[in-house]
Amino acid sequence: MTRVAIVTGGASGIGGAISRRLAADGAAVAVFDINGEAAAAAAAEICAEGGKAAGFAVDVADRTAVETGVAQVGSELGSPSILVNCAGITVSGPFLELDIDTWNRVLATNLTSAFHCCQVVLPEMVAAGWGRIVNISSSSTHSGVPGMAAYVSSKSGMIGLTKVLALEFGRSGITVNTIPPGFIETPMMRGALDNGVFDLDRQVANTPVGRIGRPEDIAATCAFLTSEDAGYITGQVIGVNGGRNT
């Protein structure tokens, strides 16, 4: 049976690797990204490799766009039973200079987006009696990061949302887990390194396995959590961080 998976932020970095991995494992993947061209290109790459995928231009902070996108997935690929909430942005700067518009934008993109996507997709999972949701949070919630109040707050909210949904939907055959990635080589991380938010050598020195993470490290864990075999795992925070936050 072909499962239909929605991966938000699925055109780049971690979301891109998750899209490719779920497709390689046999899912039909709906790549949701605010960058519609990149979503189409990511889906085309999967199709060229023999997988099944379609790209959708969706701003996941916009409820109407999410509803429209999920309806399109239903007619083009089928009813979604896997949802990976991976879209995210970072903004950094001193807390006292953080304006309310920026705070709201980060919360809307990183956390309210998951509220929208879960609320729109869950009724279909409940009707099917099976579902898998993975929320991509962040290892920054373990430690805090100076200058990233909005980001870390949004990602901490993802962990709370995960725990509540796991309790509410466990009896419907739906699992909800969160992966907080730690220090993964992606365009977002490259920007943070270039801006001096993080120092590569120091980060690697502080990582027990001695390397920066790869998007495929997160994708492998996500593939397991969305598989049939992971049906007894729910409400969990599964750190994939090279041993940094044990």
* Choice between 77 and 222, CB closer to ligand NAI: 222
Rounded to whole angstroms, the Cα distance separating 173 from 108 reads: 28
- Least distance CB 189 / ligand NAI (angstroms): 4
Strand partners, 7: 31, 84
Helices (H) and strands (E) in the chain, counts: 10, 6
Compute how many other C-beta atoms are within 10 angstroms of the C-beta atom of residue 128.
14
Instruction: Concatenate the DSSP letters of all residues of 86-120 into one string.
Output: -------S-GGG--HHHHHHHHIIIIIHHHHHHHH
- Least distance CB 78 / ligand NAI (angstroms): 21
* Choice between 172 and 206, CB closer to ligand NAI: 206
3 state SS of 190: helix
* Choice between 11 and 223, CB closer to ligand NAI: 11
Catalytic residue among 32, 56, 151, 169: 151
- Least distance CB 206 / ligand NAI (angstroms): 13
Which residues are at the interface with ligand NAI (CB under 6 A)? Answer: 8-9, 11-15, 32-35, 38, 58-61, 86-89, 109, 136, 138-139, 181, 183-184, 186-189
User: Any catalytic annotation for residue 232?
Assistant: no
Q: Are 200 and 58 in contact (CB under 8 A)?
A: no
The total number of residues written for the chain in this structure: 246
- Least distance CB 177 / ligand NAI (angstroms): 15
* Choice between 189 and 230, CB closer to ligand NAI: 189
Active site positions, annotated:
151
